[in-house]
Structure 1
Amino acid sequence: MTATTLSDIAQPPNRRRRPGERSTMRDVAAAAGVSVKTVSRVVNAEPGVRGDVRDRVLAAAENLDYRHNLAASNLRRSGARSGVIGVLVQDLANSFSASLVRALEDAMRPHKVMLVAASLDETTLREQRTVENLITRRVDGLVLVPASARQDYLAPEIRAGFPIVFADRSPRGVDTDSVVVDNALGAFMAVDHLLAGGHRRIAVLTDSAAIATAQDRLRGVRAAFAKHAVEFPEDLLRQGARTQDDAARDVWALRDLPEPPTAIFAARNTITIGAVQALSERAERHTVALVGFDDFPLADLLDLTVVRQDVARLGALVGSRLLARIEGDTSPPVHDVLPPTLVVRGSGEIAPQPAPAG
């Protein structure tokens, strides 16, 4: 018996496709001289098809540029799965968000699950509309870094058993799986380190006060001051920095105070970059101590002391938890809290410098 070649496969009779129209399973069946059911078994890698018939179907599919509609096929099966999950983060351009998405991608790839990722930009309405769009498009589950203060709107989906895992920020108003880093502990470690180095005038720059992680980090800051029996300098607190430029302006203003800070705790990676920018512009990189929350590319080359979150582990745990729920795990919600790490590189170890003579 000779092997089937592409030239042996005829175009299906009485079937003319319009320009841009894809071939269908029916077209492949007609070209291969088999039933549509047989084509379905071949493209879905099901058993029960002879080798020569399988070869003939695959050759016909290749000749017709057929692409199997995996989503439609999955939805017809008993599990009714799409093989796609939604991942909603704050900003895909941010190194933390990008690292989280990559960690999830690595976790999902062995299971042939695809990711659809989107940025929320700390916008409640965008979060709710994007969640609704993804659910109506039949994703198998969601990973959510919420922008909203409460997520009660998800209660019907959670009651219905739709898999949702929160990452980086804990759920509020609903109870579902979450994996977060101990933000209060991380901020405590950063400021405790500066206080132990002799600093008392420590500026604290945070994200919006409405964001849960910013609240947790400020709580850790105050706990560190309490440990050292040092009064927290409220005049050095700046909240609401959303961009690198916002943070740079805050640092300029703080360093121009009559009694400027000798150290800075930047409670987000974007804020840290803005602080580095301002200190560099002022030629103060080596005279003002700086500790940032979140590691990021090039932070080591800048000798930045940072509180590092294990994003790879966070993403792996989120992915594992979501896959278990998709597979039918109905056990009570699990809330994992991961410890951060203080990475000492030099910027946080600069000793307090006397204020320049006025």
Structure 2
Amino acid sequence: MTKTNPGRFFEDYAIGQVIDHAVPRTVSGGERALYHALYPMRHALYSSDAFAQSCGLPGSPLDDLAAFHVVFGKTVPDVSLNAVANLGYAEGRWMTPVYAGDTLRSTSEVIGLKQNSNGKTGVVYVRTRGLNQRDEVVMEYCRWVMVRKNNLDAPAPEAVVPELKKVLTVADLTLPERLDFTGYDFTLAGEPHRWGDYEVGEQIDHVDGVTIEEAEHMMATRLWQNTAKVHFDATFRPDGQRLIYGGHVISMARALSFNGLANAQMIVGLNAGAHANPCFSGDTIKAWSEVLDKADTGLPGVGAIRLRLVATKGSAPFALKSADGKYLPEVLLDLDYWALMPK
């Protein structure tokens, strides 16, 4: 009897299938320290217990995207071990802050399947939930992945493409009940710009850039226990290059966005996301943002701001797509998210 796991292939999925992912993870201050070492993270709410307590929280949570990476990493052996590419995200919600000492696990439900016309691959849609040791949902999101077929003669399943919201409203979001920005210290946060200083349509060049290193990417991907072959095995791709984990690009771009959006503190919603082009070691990531919407939250001193975050391979800011509607080859990431900001 074979004891090793080759991973699931496209023909192994079925609509309604629920997958409980292995290996829960207890997080600590070590994850925060490593996260801040890998990315130039400086948001005050995630750096200082005292700052977080002044905003009504019991302490400084684990960075939202670090929690996302932990939850995501659990799903890889079951969802994307044999993936060609991670295609997109929708309906992402951060629902309960994660603190040191919390234990996270993940579960996914297959909500869509569609075989590609080449008969060699198909797209798998899943809704993943991350839960803590109290069985509270800390976050959930949908994603779709292109997965190889193992048996090319396996019949194509009936195509089911789920209808997912293109944009979450503030009413769809779960906001921390005790969050209070009325006493927010802008000096300690690093920038004076508040919610009212941003206008819909405004674009922000985050100026700074970071060249991706192979070693840092490998460390980050292992930290999140992401086992996807395309990130580790140079023989798995015909070009002989290891693909940089898309979450690494997301976190790097979010860190770079501090310069101009230092007060966009908590990520609470993910409307959409696309890894537009592959990223490889040696690429230099730069980032720019566009303000898409703003809304009141009802929390004291707290506004919600909807942002488009774009990561590029060092190209000029504010260029996204060509005349035919396709992403420019320099664009790596197009992420649409909601964040909370002091008013």
Higher strand content, 1 or 2: 2
- Bigger CA radius of gyration: 1
TM above 0.5, one fold? no
Whose relative contact order is higher, 1 or 2, with alpha carbons under 8 Å and at least 6 apart?
Answer: 2
Normalising TM by the smaller chain, what interval?
under 0.3
Higher helix content, 1 or 2: 1
TM-score by length of 1: 0.21
